[in-house]
Structures are given as C-alpha cells and as structure tokens.
Structure 1
Amino acid sequence: MDYAVLLSARERPLALVEYWPRRMWRVYLFDDRSWRMQMIDLKPHSTGMLWAHRNTRWQFAGEQEHLYSKWEVQETTTVSADGRVEVRSESAGPRGASTEPLHTRTSGPSSVPVRRFLAPVEGFLCPVPEFGDWQVFAPFLTQQGHEPATTVVLRDVSVDEGSGPLRATGIEQLFSPGTCDTRDGPAVVELVDAGLLRITSGQLAVSDPGWIGETPRTVAVPPGEFPVTLSLVRTTLGASVAAARVTFLDVPPRAWEMVLLPGEDPGLLGERQFYGVGVDSGTAAFMDATTYHRALLAAPYACTATSSDPGPGAVC
C-alpha cells in the first residue's frame, strides 16, 4: 500500500517521504523555518537502486508567498539514466508565480535559462529502503543545509491519532443560504435547483461520470422523483459548486454513513481518510442504478453533459 513517513527533529519537520505501489518515491525537504523548499522524485534504476531523476527547488519572497505557493524562482534538475543532467531555472512572470500546486506549474516564466552537462549517475543513486529503513534518506537532508552527522539514529515515535477517519460534519451549513467565511475571504452560499432525479429501480448510484467503473457506489432508496440541489459558493474570485444533494425526506438527517463497496473496511482507514466517490473529472453524477449500467455499456461516452439534459434518470 502507499504510505508517507515524516522525518523530524525536536518536533520540526526535516523531510516527508511518500511511496506509491508502482515503486515511485517522492521526498519533500524542509528548511529551518519548516518551509517546504525542495521536492525530489525517485524511481527504480537498472542498477537495482533508486534514481533521483528530478529535483525541484523553490525560492519565495516571503512567508505569504510561500503560504500560497507563489514562488519567485523554481529550479528543476532532471537526470537521465546515464547521467545527462539538465538544470532549468524559471523566474515568475509579471503577474507572479502560479497558485497551482508546486509540482504542476508549467507556464508563465519570464526567462528559462538551461544548463546541460554530464555527471556520474552514481551521485544520483541511493539504496531502495526496506520498510523502516529511513536512514537511506538522511543524506538528502544536507541539501537544505542541515548539519550532517557521522551516525544518524532514527526512532519511531507515537503520534496522536487525532479524530480518525474523515467524518461528515458541517454538511447542513453547506445548504444554508447566506454569508460565510472561506480561505478566499467572505462568500455567499446560494442554493440552485438542478431538477428532479428519477429513480425506478430502488437503487441510487453515484459516480464520476468521466470514470464509469464496473462497481458503483449504490444505496437503497424509494422509487420516485426527487429534487437535486446544488450548493453554490460565490466569492470575489467567482462561483463554484461546493456540494450536491438528493433529498428523499423533508426532515433533517439524523446521521451520515459512508456507502461501502465489498471488501472496504472502515476500521482500516487512517487519519482523515474515507471511502467515497472520486471526482477526477471535476464532476459527479447521481443516477438510477439501471441508468448507470447502461452508461457502463456505452462508456466512455456516457453522461458527459453538464449543462444540458444527459438523459432520463441521470443528473450530472
């Protein structure tokens, strides 16, 4: 399974190591201010070791710029498997750096000087750690100016498990029209009627319409037609849909439960994790289960409309 490990000293973060089952690794490095200033991507090399094929560093003008990922300079070093190195330095454009996540920025530089040279690939390799063998990543800490040591001793430390898996809280407030505060400043919540959802099979299916899988999340509901409501949050930056709901009873919900697929165990969820519907396409769809299975047969062309009628029994 994928996991992340935090290396810290005296309650100060030094490095965050992420691992994915496809044998990909990523290391974030922090400076003395606990700012994330560097990102190293590693993948398997033909030698059987890990190869740091991409190393990205950022410079920020101040704390506010760091908070919103508005870098001043981004330097990216890419290394080929045979030691060919390219160093690309980007400066923020006239409008400042992008507010996109740090590793997704691809445009807006005012100058992009590039250096290319050859270097021994051994200098970019490190052993593949067994689980718990985090000393492998200790040498990376010197890249952020941390004091090197002859011996590094790492101890596993118990951490507060917090509130556990993500819980459905504050949902009613999402559907209470009026003013509210967001990280983008004051906002106004507006409710939008999205029409009626027709249920004939007694099963409501929910899915990302851009990713129709064979096993949808379904819940038993009474047959009939039920109103769909969108919660629209409007700020100075514009308006966006914060939530969508189907109303079956005109009474407040007593409790919220996750809809589980076979094999999903809530007891295995970690801090703020949950089982739910992915929205990689930026949209979600409510539909009758029979409509879902028809859409599965027609995928990938099913239920892609967002502003026109996608067909009976479905609301995107």
Structure 2
Amino acid sequence: MLARLEAVYCDGWDAGVVNPLTAATAKARDAVGEPYTVLFLLNGRLRAAMDLSWCDGYCRITRFDAADRTLSMHLLRGTGDGDLFLREARTWDGPADAGRYEYPHVATRTTTTYSVSGTRTDIVEPHGDRGVRQESTSEQRPPRLPIPAFGQWHELLRLAKEATSEVVDAVHHELPVSVESSAPWRPPRPLKPDGIEELFVPGTIVEIHDKRLQLSVHEAGELRLTSGRLVAADPSSLEFDAEPFTVTVPPGTYPVSISLATFLDDPRHSRVCAARLAVDDRPTVRWELALRDGQEIIDLGNRQFFGFGVDAGMACFVDADASERMKDVWLTLDGLVDPRHRTIDSGEMVAWSSGWGDGAYPTWIGYDAGGSVTCFVADMLLFPTDHDDD
C-alpha cells in the first residue's frame, strides 16, 4: 500500500525545521524560482527533504529512515530546455545497529552519476568511505523529468524511490523548529566574473581592507600559442598541472597584459590583479569559466570555481606544447618582485606574481556577440566581491 505523506515548507532541514514557511509563501517562491525546502512526513516522522531552486535548475531529494539515518540522495539539474535530469544518485545500505553518524562511514555506498550527453558512471564502495571502490562506465542517457508544478511532487519522489499515494499539506507536526538568520543550505551559484573589465581600466581606484589602491595596466609581451591550447598554471607545477583548457584558439602569437594594483599610501607595494591574453579586439559581451577536460559547471557549489593551484606565489600562461619544455624555468624567476611579470624565452611563457600569493585562481573566457573568443583572463581574486560575503 502506498504511503500518504504530509508536506511542511521551510528554508531547510538541520536536525529540525529551519524558518517555517506557509504553503502560500512557498508557492510564491516556487513561481519565481527562489529557493525553499519541502519536508515530507510519514506518520509524523521526517521521511524526505526536497531542496528546490528552479532558477538554478536545482533539486536535491534526501531520504531518511526511522532512525534519522540518510538512506539516499538524488540530485537533479536543469537541462536548459525546461526539464530536469538526474545528475547523481547516491544510496547507503548498512547494518541496522549503526548509528546516525556512523552509518555513512560503514554502509555500502553506491553512487551513480550521469552526464546530460549520456555517460553513466557507477561507483560501489562496499565498506563506505573506509574501503575499496569499484568503478564502471557505460553509455546510458539519464532519467529526465519536466519541472513540476508546485505541489506535484509524485514523479520526483518516485524517482527517488519514495512512491506515495498522496501528498497533503501538514496541519500540525511535532518536529523541532528553529528560526535562523540564513537557510542551512544554498543553491549552487558558482563564482561569477564580477568586475573583470574594470580591472583593465587604468587609473581606477579600488578600496580593500581600508586601503585605497590604484590600477594600472602593463604590457607583458606576446605569448606564442603554437597549438592554440592555453594552459594557466603555477610554473613550478607544470610537470603535474599542465592540462589545457577545452576552449582553443587558432595558433598564433597573442599579447598579454597585466593589471596591477598599487597601494596609494605605499607606492612600492603592488599586487597583480589579473593577466589577460587578448585574442581579438572586438567587445566582450559575456564571460564563461575556462574548463579542462572532465570539468562541468553543474558540479560546482555555491561560490565555487574550477581553477589552477599556486604553491610558489607565481602563475603563468603557456602553450600546451611548450609546457614540458618550460617545466624547470620557474627556478630562474626569482619571485617576480620587480617587475611582477616577465616574458620567458621570447614568448614561450608569460609569468606573473599571483595576487596575494598561494591559492586557487579561476580563468575566465570572454566572448563577443557572435560567440567568438575575445580573451582569456586569469583572475587573481585580489578584491573581495559579493560572492565573498558570509
């Protein structure tokens, strides 16, 4: 017999109902795609939590057992044409006497991941996260569903193996309730390239940590891209981290400019904001994150990005074909203190000091109105943005 579930609306679940919402408020959020959570109760107990943010093409369904242990997690993402597809399904199956916190570490964990193009990857971990894993790949298109109307949760629940005869709004429940300043989860909104163009406007004044800095732009020379496949990396790590971006440009020689921020109260103190490799002089109308093989934007969480790592305080642009030859050149760079950039071996590499130092840094690709590449910009994340607040 199929179960009858009761729905409770809120900002999220965190060992209790966080910031309860009326059904009308949740429906209004749903209509404009704003985030909210639906809790499904069975006999007064939490059976499943569905985190929704339609404007982000995001739905996550988590199922629980009577002991409040997580049984499964299904993640659906938008296809771009009004449907959802199953990105990942993860289940746990373990001993009945394992506690809530111990369970995910000892239960057999099975993870199935789909790409929207039709690749399926299965990973089985018989001893949870404490043992071996078995991985296999096959060609299979993911399950797809249309984004449902508010309250029509049956197909989503069925996909998550939670079949139900009826879902009604809960009139009353005994779950703990809390009021918090923010929701316990956030929809996945990756880092955005805010203000990239302004970094290359000479004379711009920027304030950070109660200090005022002035931007200047410096020509760093020309980079030879013999293959058209650009690598952004720490020059000391080219032996291990020289994977080129998937977006390529015609082979050729391209100018590189450096955005430098100088402290007005200490002109001897400057930092590199960004490095730009110019491909074309047409206006840039949009930006996208540069990706390497196997990287997909839909796998990024809130404010996350795919970037290159820096461990030696330096970064560089280099052609993929030249990276092997240039892997030891960092030994001669002397920290790039003055100037903070340098062209190496007549354009084989352009290197610069990396913002505040070590860390991970994104590269953005600029496109013109016709969809052609205008530039690559390695962003040293020198200035905080709206994405850095918490």
TM-score (norm 2): 0.39
| Greater relative contact order structure (CA < 8 Å, 6+ sep) | 2
Q: TM-score, normalised by structure 1?
A: 0.47
